[in-house]
A and B are shown apart, each in its own frame.
Chain A
Amino acid sequence: MNENPVALGSEAETSSKTAVKMRGTGVDVFYGDKQALFGVNLDIPENQVIALIGPSGCGKSTFLRCLNRMNDTIDICRVTGEITLDDQNVYDPSVDVVELRARVGMVFQKPNPFPKSIFENVAYGPRIHGLARTRSELEEIAVTSLEKAGLFEEVKDRLHEPGTGLSGGQQQRLCIARAIAVSPEVILMDEPCSALDPIATARVEELIDDLRQNYTIVIVTHSMQQAARVSQRTAMFHLGYLVEEDETDTIFTNPSNPKTQDYITGRYG
């Protein structure tokens, strides 16, 4: 495996359309001695949805977790290369990881609301970052976040009941609201719909489309249809390499790499 695929989506094309929010340059990731990512170069365009696809174990989650340094919580994980957020290297020692994660939020595969009330779940982030000075400000943040996440109407009468009592789809939207509440610039989503039924999935997908106006979104998904529906750009990973990155339409209609072709048509083993 000595080919060295590089991002094919040409930079000139990308930047002519929209600004680059985050950029990975030569990102290598090691878990102990095992290398999980090999020299990944990828641009995350601002106010767009970019989907990361690829077979299981190819490093999608690993790359995603580099973007907000969640890999720091894994002792054996080592990241080299450069990842920038607005041209600032996020692995620079001067960068405060707390601040970074406030700017780059994350939604996990399995809904993980805190065992607190719905309101407290959303208020958690603003509280620790001191975003609200008064109770009413806090409430306002919570309500707007829930509204943006399309959950407010469903839960407005039971804001003080436990978040764990919601349905799976509602819980996932609660987690999105929780991420939105700290006003991030980028939202990372790792298979956010894999634990949801089709109706809840549709709601979350709608929501992602709405959120695009104000946020930059990176979504990992195993569903080709989902990638096609929600994303503007798609990046294909394979065995730790970024194989291809382009407009979603191009990837799905006319991929330039045969591996991508195989994967999206389901011929990949």
Chain B
Amino acid sequence: MIATLLLVLVACAIGAFVIGRNRAIAIAGGKVASLHSRPSHHGASLAIVCVVPALALIVLWSIIAPNVMDTAVLSRFSAELADYGVPQIEGFLRDSRAVAFGGIAGFTDELTEQAAAYYQSLNATGNMILAAGTALFVLAGLYLGYRAIKLRTRARHLVERFILVILIACSAVAILTTIGIVLSLVVETFRFFQKVPATDFLFGLHWSPQSAFEGAGREALAQDQSKIFGAIPIFAGTLLITAIAILVAGPIGLMSAIYLSDYAGPRFRAVAKPILEILAGVPTVVYGFFAALTVAPFLRNLGESVGTSVSSESALAAGLVMGIMIIPFVSSLSDDVINAVPQSLRDGSAALGATKSETIRKVVLPAALPGIVSALLLAISRAIGETMIVVMAAGLAANLTINPLEAVTTVTVQIVTLLVGDQEFDSAKTLAAFALGLALFCITLTLNVIALRVVQKYRERYD
């Protein structure tokens, strides 16, 4: 029903547009320039006046109507439902709706059939009212809007303002969502800190939330509870893996960027750059099994052959593969900033007798440095947020170590394991995930802000 109405509205909008435009042209009597607004503005504004109130009615209706119908059904059958509990009543309503409008009903009896019939009649009435209301709004809008079309009517302003409102609404969605996410993180983190002291979380050296004891006797163990949420080991693990990744991606990415921008011929560049960017598009889970099935065993065998023990899940394996994964970020962004260094600087340096590599080291790279730094920072925040590779290649053991040959775990991985499986929503274990999420968010936010600031500074330099 509502879908049909919406289709009709679209048709109305198109019709109103044509009517409004033609009316405007007719009023202008051939001299379109004498209109304040273009004919198409008049058309669009008539369409808006016609359709937007009706649309609002439909939206409002589809929010309110189900509740109204439920209330009506409940009051009608209140006698029969007197001894039902809340879950039963909900089940009853669900089943009746299913019978009435199609769907899978769990349990049907005489009463649900009756309720279903009532639902259907309510719905039919409602739809008629809605259709009538919509038609009324459309016609009223059409009439008023049509009459309002005059030579000096400021239709353009209405259209512009309408567009502005839509733009604002869209950006509000993005902004409000972000604010909502951050707020919920903050609130849940706060609740977590009521169960586990913030200091224990931030400075504790022991992380094993899987041993959190749920159920009877929990209170007796409350003392130890807080001691298993020490986040230091997993932040250390994150740091270790990220550092390895940057050690791999930084030099390789930067040097390939230099090659691409200053040495490679245009034909090689045209091929190599897209390929590098494809590397960025490989799903991380593919990198993950590459890390777990190829790199990790290779490292372990290598370790055996030189006589050191490498655990089969190691920070090194995850870090190396993650490094490969973020090479495209570093190289592609750095290539862009290196290219942005004006050719005149290179010429100036060459004219002083500098060789190409001197020019790059002493003029081009320093000039591009801020951009390169921000490329690295973006790559780092990408690495910090990466989960899949680490789950598959670095393991779940929260070891506090800086030995890259051992298994470590990261913040993102722990968030996953905390939330996988059935969880009580307000257990300390679940809430810990929010605290970790908030901490991670703060870190990447800081990195991004720094990167942005650096880029801004860089922009000012050549103008």
Contacts and interface: CB of A to CB of B under 8 A. Distances in A.
Given A115-B461, A124-B352, 9 more contacts: A101-B350, A102-B352, A108-B351, A113-B348, A114-B345, A124-B362, A128-B362, A129-B353, A179-B352
A97 B461 CA distance: 31
Contacts of A125: 352-354
A184 to B, nearest CB: 9
Interface of A: 68, 70, 73, 75, 97-102, 105-106, 108, 110, 112-116, 124-125, 128-129, 164, 175, 178-179, 182
B350 A73 contact: yes
Given A108-B344, A128-B362, A68 B352 contact: no
Interface in B126-182: none
A102 B349 contact: no
B350 A114 contact: no
B269 to A, nearest CB: 13
B278 to A, nearest CB: 28
Nearest to A70: B351
22 contacts: A70-B347, A97-B353, A101-B351, A101-B352, A105-B352, A106-B351, A108-B351, A112-B348, A114-B363, A115-B345, A115-B367, A115-B461, A115-B462, A124-B362, A125-B352, A125-B353, A128-B354, A128-B358, A175-B348, A178-B348, A179-B352, A182-B353
Interface string B329-358: 000000000000010111111111111001
Contacts of B344: 108, 110, 112
A244 to B, nearest CB: 28
Given A70-B347, A108-B344, A110-B344, A116 B366 contact: yes
Contacts of A113: 348
Contacts of A112: 342, 344-345, 347-348
B352 A164 contact: no
Nearest to B363: A114
Contacts of B350: 70, 73, 101
A178 B352 CA distance: 8
Given A108-B344, A115-B462, A124 B349 contact: yes
Instruction: Specify which of A73, A101, A115, A179 lies most central, judged by the most chain B CB atoms within 10 Å of its CB.
Output: A115
A178 B367 CA distance: 18
Contacts of A99: 353
A122 B349 CA distance: 11
Contacts of B265: 75
Nearest to B367: A115
A164 B367 CA distance: 12
B351 A114 contact: no
Instruction: Specify which of B350, B358, B462 lies most central, judged by the most chain A CB atoms within 10 Å of its CB.
Output: B350
Contacts of A75: 265
Contacts of B366: 115-116
Contacts of A73: 346-347, 350
B365 to A, nearest CB: 11
Interface in B362-395: 362-363, 366-367
B378 to A, nearest CB: 22
Instruction: Specify which of A73, A114, A116 lies most central, judged by the most chain B CB atoms within 10 Å of its CB.
Output: A114
Contacts of A179: 351-352
Nearest to A113: B348
B379 to A, nearest CB: 24
B371 to A, nearest CB: 12
Nearest to A98: B353
B264 to A, nearest CB: 12
B354 A98 contact: yes
A171 to B, nearest CB: 11
A98 B348 CA distance: 13
B353 A128 contact: yes
A129 B362 CA distance: 13
Instruction: Specify which of B265, B353, B355, B363 lies most central, judged by the most chain A CB atoms within 10 Å of its CB.
Output: B353
Contacts of B461: 115, 164
B348 A102 contact: no
Nearest to A106: B351
A99 B354 CA distance: 9
A124 B462 CA distance: 19
Contacts of B355: 98
A238 B354 CA distance: 33
Contact of A114 (B353, B358, B367): B367
Nearest to A101: B353
Contact of B347 (A102, A108, A129, A164): A108
Nearest to B458: A115
Contacts of B351: 68, 70, 101, 105-106, 108, 179
Lowest 8 CB-CB distances: which A-B pairs, in order? A106-B351, A101-B353, A112-B344, A102-B353, A125-B352, A112-B348, A98-B353, A115-B367
B33 to A, nearest CB: 41
A160 to B, nearest CB: 15
Contacts of B347: 70, 73, 108, 112
Instruction: Specify which of A98, A105, A110 lies most central, judged by the most chain B CB atoms within 10 Å of its CB.
Output: A98
B81 to A, nearest CB: 79
A114 B349 contact: yes
A185 to B, nearest CB: 13
Contacts of A182: 352-353
Interface in B433-463: 461-462
A7 B334 CA distance: 49
Contacts of A100: 353
Contacts of A175: 348
Contacts of A129: 353
Instruction: Specify which of B342, B350, B351 lies most central, judged by the most chain A CB atoms within 10 Å of its CB.
Output: B351
A99 B265 CA distance: 26
A175 B352 CA distance: 10
Contacts of A164: 461-462
B239 to A, nearest CB: 33
Contacts of B342: 112
A136 B347 CA distance: 28
A135 to B, nearest CB: 17
Nearest to A188: B351
A108 to B, nearest CB: 6
B24 to A, nearest CB: 52
